[in-house]
Amino acid sequence: MQEGWGRRPGATASVRTARRLRRSLTPQEVKAWVWLREHGHLFGGRFRRQVPVGPYIVDFACLNPRIAIEIDGDSHCHPDALARDGDRDAFLRTQGFAVVRIWNTEIGRDADTFLDLVRTRMSPETLAS
């Protein structure tokens, strides 16, 4: 293998998967990423995309404060997927993350609506459910 090509030393499988996912965002994830990159500071920190957290890869995460945002499509409607999402959310909460789930169809056309939705879903009443 040529010098400088291939797998970086120490990259785990989840890191490699996260890198691949960063290159294949859905159109809704692209919108959310642009808005979080531009306005994420309003939540107190800087967001990253496709972040490995334990055995999972979170769509968007702010590490300080700990916020995880998942953008869900139709595949998350099935009972098995809902159960997996519940396990994932429980794990993320044990790691100190506030978990916010948003459906693809809720992304909308403008940043203000999206950011208000994130803010609303982060409320203590919503996070307790």
The rounded radius of gyration (Å) of the Cα atoms in the chain is: 15
What is the number of alpha carbons within 13 Å of residue 79 lying toward its C-beta? Answer: 0
Measured in whole angstroms, the distance separating CA 118 from the mean position of its chain's CA atoms is: 12
Element (H, E) at 18: helix 13-22
pLDDT at residue number 19: 63
Which domains are assigned to the chain?
A: 26-124 (3.40.960.10)
pLDDT at residue number 2: 42
pLDDT at residue number 14: 65
Element (H, E) at 112: helix 111-121
pLDDT at residue number 126: 47
d(CA 89, CA 99): 6
Percent of the chain with pLDDT over 70: 75
Q: Which residues contact 49 (CB under 8 A, 6 or more apart)?
A: 22, 25, 29, 33, 36, 59, 60
Please indicate whether residue 1 or residue 53 has the higher confidence score (pLDDT): 53
pTM of the prediction?
A: 0.77
Tokens of residue 8, six digits: 């970086």
pLDDT surpassing 50 at residue 28: yes
Tell me which of 20-24, 71-75, 102-106 is least confident: 20-24
